[in-house]
Amino acid sequence: MAKLAALTLLALLGTVSCQGLSVDHYSNSCPNAEAIVREAVKKAIDSNRGTGAGLIRLFFHDCFVRGCDASVLLNTTGSDEATERLGRPNLTLRGFEVIDAAKSALEESCPGVVSCSDILAFAGRDATYFLTNLTADFSMPAGRYDGRISLANETVPNLPAPFYGVQQLNDSFAAKGLSLEDMVTLSGAHSVGRSSCSSFSDRLTSNSSDMDPGYAAYLRKQCSGYGGMVAQDYKTPDDLDREYYRDVISHDVLLGSDAALMSSNETAKMVMDNASVLGLWESKFVAAMVKMGGVGVKTSADGEIRKKCWIIN
């Protein structure tokens, strides 16, 4: 699988590098940068594997609003406008403390060098590595600058909703330069992490829902009375793996957007291939993570290297 992932990535790295990103970007300016981030991620995941799922989601939510510029990390931009962190889709994001810990260590080692947006990209990569039980090890190009703008009201229009159908999902991803296959591939991140009951409660009561009846009954019991959180993949909840696609096929997924992948012949074929071909989804996932990491990157002309990730300089 590692060789297949490497071959897939080689095709992408030339494309990403032309956007100002490069592998081993900090090899001279901060040689230990990626090791410092990986250690912070490892420590967090050793304590709670769910934090790894949170870091992958944090990276995704950042890149889909204003590009991969760490705008999702900001508490304030000095204006009266609420930042992305207060946008409705982002209220359950987690992993911020891991990014802050990595940034603090990096500022001690090489102050003013490593951007928060690169830390977030490295953290998403490293979380993938640990949650796939050390199998998906890949290079993440770097050289991003941090954005100075973050607006809560831009989250809902840019982030795909849990009730989206295939066409809406495709449109959302296409707007970021990502393909239909990228969408199906990145949806596999729902193999880990949790979802709030409110995100799928309509599927538990709807007569038209295609959810497996036994699974629906289990979820109604789990969500009864408190409206909490449940594992997105109850079979292997702590591992980032292709079990998600088997769940899609067997109608054991939470979100309408997950179930929708079987509503189109084209996406259903991708789901079935990912579920059945050993190593296929993993290689596509690491390539899609790298490709997503090149969305809307900032340069020195329109960004900065923040001293602290939660506030602009």
Structure tokens at 108: 């001690």
- What is the spatial distance between Cα 161 and Cα 169, in angstroms, rounded to a whole number? 8
Decide: helix, strand or coil at residue 293. coil
- Three-point CA angle 133, 136, 137, nearest 5°: 110
Q: How many residues does the chain have?
A: 313
Beta strand segments in the chain, E: 194-196, 229-231
- What is the spatial distance between Cα 55 and Cα 83, in angstroms, rounded to a whole number? 19
Identify whether 61 is a catalytic site residue.
Answer: yes
- Which residue in the list 25, 61, 190, 251 is annotated as catalytic? 61
* Contact between residue 298 and residue 147 where contact means Cβ atoms under 8 Å apart: yes
Q: What is the DSSP secondary-structure string of 58-80?
A: HHHHHHTTTSSSSGGG-SB-SSS
Catalytically active residues are: 61
